[in-house]
Amino acid sequence: MTSAPSITRRPYIPGNGSVGEQIPGVRPDRRRELLLWWREIDRVLLLLIAVLALCGVVAVGLASPASARRLSTDTVQLSDWHFFELHLGWLAMGICVLLGTSMLPLQNARRIAILMAGGMLAALVLVPLIGVERNGAVRWLYVGTTVQPSEFLKPAFAVTLAWILSWKQRDPSLPVIGVSSALLGVIVLLLMMQPNLGEAILFAGCWFVLVLLAGLPLKRVGMLVGGGATMIGLAYAFYDNARNRIDSFFGGGTAFDHVDLARRTLMGGGWTGKGPWLGTEKMRLPEAHTDYILSVVGEELGLLVLGLLVLLYLAIVLRVAVRLLNEERLFIVLSASGLIALFGGQAFINILVNLQLFPSKGMTLPMISYGGSSLIAQCFTIGLLLAITRRNPYLARDAYDFGGTQTGKGRS
């Protein structure tokens, strides 16, 4: 009879800022919680996100004059720094959301995500009825400010989906694939009514990643791929929004097409760029501070900087993947994978759109584009990711066995 695997504990030797020391202005209990949070948090991921957010501040500063002048009228003249100043306010709120969410215990983070999924799904039902229209799409609700429910539904959906799929560990006979598929179908239907094909694809991609990680048989994977191709064909045949975007993409666009303008703006600066606030193509670019902010960065800072930005996104995704390599709890593996798939997938699509390698989807570049509900939702996504991947660094644990056998003990 083999004994249970042992857990190696390394002694923790308090130093500066230890539990026994006082931090001015912070209660002892709260101070202890902060120290515990700092030891358990993925500080490398937090640093990468901080760098990305700083890059976003610079990018919005570059794009703000173009959008402010484009949206100014004879009666309302916007300052060149209008969107930059607003972005700083949204980012400050987002940082509070990110840090506050990252301090949640695992169980509370899961409960909040599930409750938010229910609330945002209900809000999504209301969008076609009382939503705010912009550029021919109805995707927002006005609640003192405009809020896009689908943005907040994305991280909540990833965690809720992971929770549903993890049921199979308790009872393999539960129809977790059917339940998750039904939830996805409802969300996709509501998004197509807006219309919002890009978000629908992102939700479907997240679902596909998680059901694969949950152990979906290869035969059913092939069926899903075939079903996805069929759905795209049906969307092209019967969904005008999808057909127009696909035709525009394969037709190469026109001189006034958003995607073509974005590509020419991005390439206009060459390898090193024209210099900050010296770009000219950006002045004709719609949504320069949101959907096409990457093109503004390319024109003014150059393709080399864009390459570094892409590497930063890859580093964030890879950091989460490395963090999960020795994680043994299925719910944590699935939820963290879903959150980073949404974050990285949105960035990947936005980059491809700006390079004219993908049809326009109306998606922002995470943590880079101008703030609002999108930035707050992205900060909530990262906060959930940090909360879910918190780990006691003084417990050695065995690697996750994807074959089904799990050893070691993790955070409860």
Token pair in block for residue 63? 């794009």
Residue 222 within any structural domain of the chain = yes
What's the structural domain count of the chain? 1
Task: Please determine, for residue 92, whether its predicted confidence score (pLDDT) is greater than 50.
Answer: yes
99-118 residue pLDDT tens: 999 999 999 999 999 999 99
Q: Residue 353 pLDDT > 90, yes or no? A: no
Q: Does 92 map to a domain?
A: yes
**SS3 category, 147:** strand
pLDDT value, residue 138: 84
pLDDT of residue 254: 46
pLDDT digits (tens, 9 = 90+) for 156-168: 999 999 999 998 8
Element of type H or E holding 138: strand 137-142
Residue matched to tokens 């864009």: 306
Collapse the DSSP code of 316 into the 3-class scheme (helix H, G, I; strand E, B; otherwise coil) and give the result: helix
Write phi, then psi, for 137 (nearest 5 degrees).
Answer: -120, 145
How high does pLDDT run on average in the chain?
Answer: 81
Name the nearest CA neighbour of 253 among 349, 351, 359: 359
H-assigned helices in 193-302: 197-213, 218-238, 240-251, 258-267, 293-301
Q: Pairing between strand 137-142 and 132-134?
A: antiparallel
Residue 333 lies in a domain: yes
**Whole-number Å distance between alpha carbons of 67 and 289:** 6
Tokens of 65: 């004059």
**Is residue 3 assigned to a domain?**
no
113 occurs within a structural domain: yes
Per-residue pLDDT band for 56 (boundaries 50, 70, 90) equals very high
In sequence order, what are the beta bridge partners of 395?
9
Q: Is 119 helix (H, G, I), strand (E, B) or coil?
A: helix
The percent of residues above 90 in pLDDT, for the chain, comes to 38
Between 199 and 10, the more confident residue is 199
State the pTM of this model: 0.82
Q: Any idea which of 17-26, 143-152, 339-348 has the lowest mean pLDDT?
A: 17-26
Give tens-digit pLDDT for 379-412.
999 999 999 998 876 655 544 444 444 444 444 4
* Mean pLDDT confidence for 66-74: 84
Average pLDDT (323-327) is: 87
214: nearest Cα among 225, 222, 206: 206
Strands 137-142 and 146-147: antiparallel
Could you tell me which residue, 243 or 352, shows the higher pLDDT? 352
Is 135 in contact with 164 (CB distance < 8 Å)?
no
Residue 305 lies in a domain: no
| Predicted confidence (pLDDT) per residue in 238-269, tens digit | 556 556 656 555 555 544 466 777 778 888 77
Strands 132-134 and 146-147: unpaired
Cα atoms found within 13 Å of the Cα of residue 30, Cβ hemisphere only: 5
CA atoms within 13 A on the CB side of 301: 18
pLDDT (mean) for 141-145: 81
Return the C-alpha torsion angle 124, 155, 61, 311, nearest 10.
-140
Q: CA nearest 162: which of 328, 349, 298, 333?
A: 333
CA dihedral sign of residues 291, 295, 297, 300: negative
Q: For residue 180, is pLDDT > 70?
A: yes
Q: How many CA atoms lie within 13 A of 237 on its CB side?
A: 6
Least confident of 302-306, 357-361, 367-371: 357-361
- 380 CB contacts (<8 Å, ≥6 apart)? 97, 98, 101, 152, 155
Q: Is residue 45 part of a domain?
A: yes
Angle between helical axes of 240-251 and 218-238 (0-180°, round to 10):
90
Domain-located, residue 140 = yes
Give the pLDDT confidence of 123-142 residue by residue, as tens digits: 999 998 888 888 777 888 88
Q: Which residue has the tokens 């799990």?
A: 406
Residue 88 structural domain = 40-70+79-257+326-348+366-388
Per the document, the length of the chain is 412
Higher pLDDT, 355 or 234: 355
Question: pLDDT value at position 184?
Answer: 92
Which of residues 26 and 380 earns the better pLDDT score?
Answer: 380
CA distance 408 to 7: 7
- How high is the pLDDT of residue 13? 46
As a whole number of angstroms, the longest Cα–Cα distance in the chain is 84
Whole-angstrom Cα Rg for the chain? 23
pLDDT band at 224 (very low <50, low <70, confident <90, very high): low
Residue 33 confidence (pLDDT) above 90 = no
